[in-house]
Amino acid sequence: MKAILLDWDGVLCDSRSLYYDLYIEAARLWNKKLPIASMAEFLEWYNPRWEENYYEMGFSVKEFEEVQVWADQWLDYAKAPLFPGIADNLRRWSQVAPLAIVSTTHSQLIRQRMRQELHLQTVVLGHQGQGQPDSGPAPHPPVVAVRGEPTGSPEQALLAKAQEAGLDSYFKHFTGGEDGSSAKREKVARTLQILEASGGVMVGDTPLDVDAGQFNGLKTVGVTYGWVSPARVRQAGPDILVDRPEDLYQAVLDSLK
C-alpha cells in the first residue's frame, strides 16, 4: 500500500511570516541577535534542523527548552492561511491513498488549524453519499502522535488521544513536533510503519523533507513556495518540483503511479 506523507508548514500552510515574526520576538525576549533582516534572507538562512537556528542565535540549551514552551503558546495558526485549494486537495487525495502529516510542528497546533479550516469548508467525512461533491471515504479514527504515557500501551494512549480530540479528519496519522526534534528520517519511518505502507510519496518544502523521503524509499515532491529558497529545494533533487500550490494536486497523484 502506498501512502501520501505531507509536511505542514510551507506545503499546506502559509506560515512563513508567522515564524519569521516568532524568531524576531524570540530574539527580542531573550536578548539575542537574529542574523537576518528580511524574508528573503530568512529563506536563505533558515535551517530545517531548526534547533540549530536557535543555537546560532546564541541560545543555551536551557534557553532553547524555554523557547520551545513559549513558542507553542505564542504561535497562532489562525493568522496562517492554508494555501489555495489545499482543503479540496486533501479531500480528493484521501480517496486514493491514506494521508499523514509528518512535521516538526506540534500536532495539536496542526489539528486545531485543520479542524478550523474544515469547519469553514463544512466538510464532514462519511455524512454524504459517494459521488457527491463533498463526499469522502468512510470515517476512521485518526491516530495522533503523543508522548509516551506512564500507564497503558502506546496503542491505547494513541487511541485515547484520538478519541479525546474528536476529529473528523482526512488524516490517518499525525506525526508532529512533540519530541522537540527535527529528525525527519525517523519521523517518516515511524509513520510508514504505523500506516503499514510500503511506499508512496513525501511532500515537503525543505531539503530535509526530500532527504527523509528518499532515505525511506519514497518518491519526493519538493515545493518551492515554502520556507526555503527555490534554489535550495532544487538542489536537494526531488523527483518532482512544484512552483505553485495549484499544481500540487496532480504532482502528488503522478508520484503514486
CATH number at residue 236: 3.40.50.1000
Going by pLDDT thresholds of 50, 70 and 90, the confidence category of residue 208 is very high
Q: Which domain holds residue 65?
A: 16-78
Does residue 136 surpass a pLDDT of 60? no
Going by pLDDT thresholds of 50, 70 and 90, the confidence category of residue 50 is confident
Do 58 and 95 sit in the same domain of this protein? Answer: no
Do 117 and 214 sit in the same domain of this protein? Answer: yes
C-alpha 237/C-alpha 131 separation (Å) is 38
C-alpha 100/C-alpha 171 separation (Å) is 5
Do 147 and 168 sit in the same domain of this protein? Answer: yes
Contact 36, 42 (CB under 8 A): yes
80-94, 121-135, 141-155: which range is least confident on average? 121-135
Going by pLDDT thresholds of 50, 70 and 90, the confidence category of residue 173 is confident
Q: Cβ atoms within 10 A of the Cβ of 95, count?
A: 11
Does residue 137 surpass a pLDDT of 50? no
Does residue 43 surpass a pLDDT of 70? yes
Do 8 and 26 sit in the same domain of this protein? Answer: no
- What are the grid coordinates assigned to 138, written together? 468512510
C-alpha 205/C-alpha 12 separation (Å) is 10
Contact 134, 113 (CB under 8 A): no
Do 88 and 213 sit in the same domain of this protein? Answer: yes
147 versus 236: which is more confidently predicted? Answer: 236
C-alpha 178/C-alpha 173 separation (Å) is 14
Instruction: Give pLDDT, residue 5.
Output: 96
Do 53 and 94 sit in the same domain of this protein? Answer: no
pLDDT tens string 60-119:
999 999 998 999 889 888 888 889 888 888 889 999 999 998 987 777 777 777 666 645
Contact 176, 101 (CB under 8 A): yes
Total number of domains in the chain: 2
4-13, 53-62, 171-180, 197-206: which range is least confident on average? 171-180
pLDDT above 70 as % of the chain: 76
Do 110 and 218 sit in the same domain of this protein? Answer: yes
Do 68 and 158 sit in the same domain of this protein? Answer: no
Residue 71 has φ and ψ, to the nearest 5°, of -65, -40
Do 117 and 234 sit in the same domain of this protein? Answer: yes
